[in-house]
Chain A
Amino acid sequence: MQKLEDAVIHMQQSFSNIFFLFSNHNKLVNVQNISSEEIFSDNSISLLNQLSIELYKSPKIRKYPDVATFAFFCRKANILNVKRKYNQGGFRLGRGIVFHIAPSNVPVNFAYSMVAGLLSGNNNIVRVPSKNFEQVSIIIEALKNVAISNNSFDLENRLFLVKYEKSSDATEYFSSICDIRVIWGGDQTIDLVRINKIQPRSIDITFSDRYSFAIINAEKIVYEKKIDKVANNFFNDTYLFDQNACSAPRIVIWIGSEDVIKKAKNIFWNSVQNRIKNYDFSPILAIDKLVSLLEQSTMNHQLTKVKSINNKLWRINTPILFKELENYTCAGGYFLEYNANSIDEIASFVTRKFQTMAYFGFEKNDLMKALKKMKLLGIDRVVPFGKTTDFDLIWDGYDLIYILSRECVVV
């Protein structure tokens, strides 16, 4: 009991610089006494469904495809579909309190993290992005409306959305009371957050700096009838988030014979070039790309730049694949390309650092077979073009529902 009182005093000290976007500090004081729920509780599913309905009511949703995708994800039909996989007769409960630290520059990520926390039966404290994204406001407003109309599930006791300055000791406090800390935002953020202790039984889920690549069957590009659609999917995988999402391909591996690859590259990149006509290009990116290439060139890997129409799209050829290839990339429309004979060649660069392999022109089962044979330390997702940014409850190799909950074994 002594311990709890200490914590309360500590917490009250730091409350002055915490801004609550959802719920309030009186409720927060009590969060440690709120029990957790079973995974995929009816309450959480119906809450998310209401949230989805509420979001669709908002006229602003048209402006933000990322919010629309999120609303679509929260539908009851989708959640029930996901739930099916977890119906194995066991008894799983949320671990207690999840403290989420969302990345500062992806608006909707905080909401997916929150959904994972709710569906796994937990009470959640979410630090939302410091920047004022309208997407964040839209979702929070909808949440508030849902909370008012939904009496069965006392959301204000279970969910806290907060903002605070770096200088605040809120991270220290939330770390000290949470059962799981979920850290998005990359290596630097992880290092900074980890300065703060968590309890002995608590665990960290970290989303570190990851990189992704694309693999293209050249022949399929040459015979593709809807190449603009392929380019558009690729655009959504890359340029949509300035090629800076961890799931955005920065390396393109072409598979095929030399002459087919040559043809395919022409067709594909012309179409991409066409798609990026309206891409909002900031001048600093031109310099970033030049600095990246010139600096990388001094490491003697024989990289060469392909002549470019403009600075929106840069392609760099590498004659070999090597470890730490991810250090030879850049964001904002900069693609390292390699011509391969077979998919087996990716083993020479794929390390733990690699997250998503986006593919075009392959059969899912063939890729699965190849990866099973290779047993690589990296690649957690293999998705077709256009799907790299789709959120899934399995992310970076973690099954978030399982890892955020505990199994109570009844023998």
Chain B
Amino acid sequence: MCIQDLLNINPYSLKSEAKYNLLNKELLSLTKYHYENSPLYKNMLDALEIDIKDLRNYTDIPFLPVRLFKELDLVSVSPENIVKTMTSSGTTGQKVSRIYLDKETSSNQTKVLTSIVSNYLGMKRVPMLIIDSSDILKNRTMFSARGAGILGFSMFGSIREYLCDSEMKINLGTLENFLIKHKDQKIFIFGFTFMIWQHFYNELKNVEYRPDLSNAILIHGGGWKKIQSESVDSEQFKKSLNEVCGIKPENIHDYYGMVEQTGSIYMECENGYLHTSIYSDIIIRRSIDFSIADLGEEGLIEVVSILPKSYPGHVLLTEDQGIVFGEDNCKCGRLGKYFKITGRIKNAEIRGCSDSYAAKF
């Protein structure tokens, strides 16, 4: 089965053994492909003394730290075939990841995202509210993670309304009109976790207006780092939103994804667990020796995806930590591993006289 065939089936429908065999075949062949087409990737595997002919299991494929995409231009296609360059969002002065996409990889990302998200939203497009400003899309040649996220999810909207102005102030009039126009319809809301909290929840909290979003499904991502400083966790996030707009907690879905593996995202189910799909897997590794952690044990998150073909990003080690709780037996009924993110690893307080150490990275 290749990606085209998989698109015809439910993205959570393969049992562990079938999925393992599928991923194994795809990922080992991707490894070979990247080894032959990306000289830098070849250098890396050679340095690790990996003979790709000896690789039998995808859990043995070397993982590249996501940080490497900030340091190096990693590509497996010739420059004339690159149709899109995606960058991670970073504050000014920070290095950003650069991901190079050809037509095939870019198109597969879109198709897989559609397949995964449809499992939560349904097959039909619905009216969509975007909790962001349309300004973010103005520069179309460089796709930031935020812009790419909005654009990627926009295809699920039959019509789209941006709720924020360029100062990220929410326009309540726009929201009210939208809800009158689409009364009793299912509505899709999309935004980044922090923006929703800061610009949607915090705004609504301070006004009398209570929109009725009991028919809405909210999908959000981008991480909890910023709002955790206000000690807001997933449960409180859902409860608070429910209080100001009536949205059902089970219809609020976080997703875990990164610009280095766009498309094969991990969606949060009704029970609060993130799920791997048939296109991806999660491996929790112990930082002390990179061995695979047990179920329920916290460790570094390795993400694998069968989509990255124009760049060697199919097996990556993140700086996030998480716990896998089980496989194929989540109460929501979806097959695959289900897990939670527990945080990000800390920068070391390293001893020694070279102050510039931290600045190197």
Interface residues of A (CB under 8 A from B): 103-106, 109, 184-189, 207, 209, 240-246, 248, 281-288, 290-291, 293-298, 300, 302-305, 307-312, 331-332
Contacts and interface: CB of A to CB of B under 8 A. Distances in A.
Given A291-B65, A295-B71, A298-B40, A241 B47 contact: no
B9 interface: no
Contacts of A290: 65, 317
Nearest to B63: A290
A106 B65 CA distance: 29
A244 B357 contact: yes
B230 interface: no
Nearest to B291: A310
The 4 closest A-B pairs by CB, nearest first: A244-B352, A297-B47, A283-B287, A310-B289
A282 B47 CA distance: 24
A13 B68 CA distance: 46
Interface of B: 40, 43-44, 46-49, 64-65, 67-68, 71-72, 287-290, 300, 317, 319, 321, 345-357, 359, 361
A284 B344 CA distance: 10
A359 B40 CA distance: 36
Contact of A286 (B40, B288, B351): B288
B68 A105 contact: no
Contacts of B317: 287, 290
Given A242-B350, A291-B65, A304-B49, A189 B355 contact: yes
A298 B43 contact: yes
22 contacts: A105-B349, A105-B351, A105-B352, A106-B353, A244-B351, A245-B351, A281-B287, A282-B345, A284-B348, A286-B290, A287-B65, A294-B68, A295-B68, A297-B46, A298-B43, A304-B49, A305-B47, A309-B289, A311-B288, A331-B354, A331-B357, A332-B348
Contact of A332 (B40, B49, B67, B350): B350
Nearest to B354: A186
Contacts of A246: 352-354
Given A284-B347, A287-B65, A243 B352 contact: yes
A297 B43 contact: yes
A281 B351 contact: no
B353 A103 contact: yes
Contacts of A105: 349-353, 355
A299 B347 CA distance: 26
B308 to A, nearest CB: 16
A308 B289 CA distance: 8
**Which of A109, A294, A331: most chain B CB closer than 10 A?**
A294
Nearest to B344: A284
Nearest to B300: A283
Given A282-B346, A283-B345, A106 B351 contact: yes
Contact of B289 (A106, A188, A296, A311): A311
A41 B319 CA distance: 55
Contacts of B321: 283
A281 B353 contact: no
A298 B9 CA distance: 40
B274 to A, nearest CB: 21
Contact of A186 (B43, B289, B353): B353
Contacts of B72: 295, 298
A185 B353 contact: yes
Contacts of A296: 47
A209 B288 contact: no
Contacts of B353: 103, 105-106, 109, 184-186, 207, 241, 244-246
Contact of B352 (A188, A285, A311, A331): A331
B5 to A, nearest CB: 33
B290 to A, nearest CB: 7
B356 A186 contact: yes
B48 A305 contact: yes
A290 B350 CA distance: 17
Contact of B47 (A245, A294, A310): A294
Contact of A287 (B67, B350, B356, B357): B67
Given A283-B300, A287-B67, A311-B287, A209 B354 contact: yes
Contact of A187 (B43, B64, B345, B356): B356
Contact of A294 (B65, B319, B349): B65
Contacts of A303: 47
A284 B288 contact: no
A331 B350 CA distance: 9
Nearest to A282: B348
Contact of A244 (B68, B288, B354): B354
A294 B64 contact: yes
Nearest to B347: A284
B352 A242 contact: yes
Given A244-B351, A244-B352, A282-B348, 6 more contacts: A186-B356, A188-B356, A207-B353, A282-B349, A287-B300, A290-B317
B355 to A, nearest CB: 4
A358 to B, nearest CB: 15
A6 to B, nearest CB: 32
Nearest to A131: B349
A134 B352 CA distance: 16
Contacts of B356: 186-189, 209
Contacts of A304: 46-49
**Which of B64, B356, B359: most chain A CB closer than 10 A?**
B356
Contacts of B351: 105-106, 240-242, 244-245
B44 A284 contact: no
Contacts of B348: 242, 282, 284-285, 288, 332
Contacts of A331: 350, 352, 354, 357
B61 to A, nearest CB: 13
Given A106-B351, A184-B353, A248-B352, A287 B319 contact: yes
Contacts of A186: 353-356
A206 to B, nearest CB: 13
**Which of A185, A189, A244: most chain B CB closer than 10 A?**
A244
A67 B218 CA distance: 57
Nearest to B70: A291
A312 B352 contact: no
A392 B35 CA distance: 51
Contacts of A287: 65, 67, 287, 300, 317, 319, 345
A128 to B, nearest CB: 14
Nearest to B39: A298
A246 B321 CA distance: 32
